[in-house]
Structure formats: structure tokens, C-alpha cells
């Protein structure tokens, strides 16, 4: 995790988490003293982790945690006093936010951050796989559209259209998607000329 936002209404809380994260060799730490300042930071930058030392002067911690997730923050950890931790947990844990109870033990915080990092890495892998699948689906859509244009305009069979795309891609040393885009552009331009 390279970019971490620490939010705490107390200076001692900001210092504690910054020192801890630095000692554990985590990435850059940005500090905020309130939910309002943290929300502005979340709008400005992408964060891998948001640590909230609850309560904040302007939020219980739950609202900001959910807001952090909406802004695309991958992981969020709320640290709350025993009396508030259960209530905050009920509000945020269904969305995937971690909650720890104060007073913190360094080994528990370290283990939790380690687990968060593992989950963060796994989510990154899944996001990459998801992006790859989306691209493959988009490529298939483009290729199928080009095939349908070849079928309707040149009276090819589906198999002939498929082989035509493959042959053109091989001969021109281009991908099938690039050939398909050219076919689509050709027939779209011709349609406007009519």
C-alpha cells in the first residue's frame, strides 16, 4: 500500500499512526484532522488505505469510512473506543471496512494492516483480471460487429467473415480488432455518403 490517509482529531493520534506506518515501511502518509478535510483529500487523490481514529470532531468515523469507499479508497480501517466500536462496526463492516477497538496493541494493529495489505493485493489482481475481461468482451463486440457488416454488405457467411478477418490481420500484421475497426469505419463512412 503506497498511499495512506490517516484521519484523527487528535495530534497524538496522527503522530502515532504516522510513526507506526513509517516504522513498518508503508508508503506515503497524508494526515487530516477532520472528516471534512479527509473528504477533500479523498476527492483530490487516490488512496490505498484510509485509517480513521474515531471519533472525529465532525463525524463518528462511520460516515467518513463509507465515504472513503465511495471515493474508491481500496481499504478502510476505523479504530474506535470499546463503547463505540460495535455500533460503528455494525454500520461499516457489511461494506468491508475493518474496525479495531482501542486501546490498540501494536501487534494486533500490525497483523490487521498485514491482512489488509494481502486483501488489497488480491483486489488489485482481481481488478486487473476484470479489466482484461472487459477489454476482451469489447474486442469481441467490435469483431462481431465487423463480421455482421461483412455478412450484410459482402454477403459472406459467418465462417467466411471470420476467416477474412484472420487473413487480413495476418497479412497486415495487425490484430483482428484493428482490422475490425477499419471495416466498421469503412462501412460507417459509406453509409453517410448515401
Q: With a cut of 70, say whether residue 190 has pLDDT above it.
A: no
**Domains along the sequence of the chain with CATH:** 3-104 (3.40.50.2300), 131-193 (1.10.10.10)
pLDDT, tens digit, 9 for 90 and up, residues 70-81: 887 679 999 999
Q: What pLDDT sits at residue 192?
A: 53
pLDDT, tens digit, 9 for 90 and up, residues 138-188: 999 999 999 999 999 999 999 999 999 999 999 999 999 999 999 999 987
Q: With a cut of 60, say whether residue 193 has pLDDT above it.
A: no
CA–CA distance, 138 with 174 (Å, rounded to integer): 17
pTM value is 0.74
Q: What pLDDT sits at residue 74?
A: 75
Q: With a cut of 90, say whether residue 117 has pLDDT above it.
A: no
At residue 7 the predicted structure's pLDDT band, cuts being 50, 70 and 90, is very high
Average pLDDT of the residues in 99-109: 93
Find the Cα–Cα–Cα–Cα dihedral 33, 38, 44, 50, rounded to 10°.
110
Q: Are 74 and 100 in contact (CB under 8 A)?
A: no
Q: What pLDDT sits at residue 160?
A: 96
Helical ranges in the chain per DSSP H: 11-23, 35-44, 62-70, 82-92, 106-154, 158-172, 176-193
pLDDT, tens digit, 9 for 90 and up, residues 9-57: 999 999 999 999 998 888 889 999 999 999 999 999 989 999 999 999 9
Amino acid at each position: 500500500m503506497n498511499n495512506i490517509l490517516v484521519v484523527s482529531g487528535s495530534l497524538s493520534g496522527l503522530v502515532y499512526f504516522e510513526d507506526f506506518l513509517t516504522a513498518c515501511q508503508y508508503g506515503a502518509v497524508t494526515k487530516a484532522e477532520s472528516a471534512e478535510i479527509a473528504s477533500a483529500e479523498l476527492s483530490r487523490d487516490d488512496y490505498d488505505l484510509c485509517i480513521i481514529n474515531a471519533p472525529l470532531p465532525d463525524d463518528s468515523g462511520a460516515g467518513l469510512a463509507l465515504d472513503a469507499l465511495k471515493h474508491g479508497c481500496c481499504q478502510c480501517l476505523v479504530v474506535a473506543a470499546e463503547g463505540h466500536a460495535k455500533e460503528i462496526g455494525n454500520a461499516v463492516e457489511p461494506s468491508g471496512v475493518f474496525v479495531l477497538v482501542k486501546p490498540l496493541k501494536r501487534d494486533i494493529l500490525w497483523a490487521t494492516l498485514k491482512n489488509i495489505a494481502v486483501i488489497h493485493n488480491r483486489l488489485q489482481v482481481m481488478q486487473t483480471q476484470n479489466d482484461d475481461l472487459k477489454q476482451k468482451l469489447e474486442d469481441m463486440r467490435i469483431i462481431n460487429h465487423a463480421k455482421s457488416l461483412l455478412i450484410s454488405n459482402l454477403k459472406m457467411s459467418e465462417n467466411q467473415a471470420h476467416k477474412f478477418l484472420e487473413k487480413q490481420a495476418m497479412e497486415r500484421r495487425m490484430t483482428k480488432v484493428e482490422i475490425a475497426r477499419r471495416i466498421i469505419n469503412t462501412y460507417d463512412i459509406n453509409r453517410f455518403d448515401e
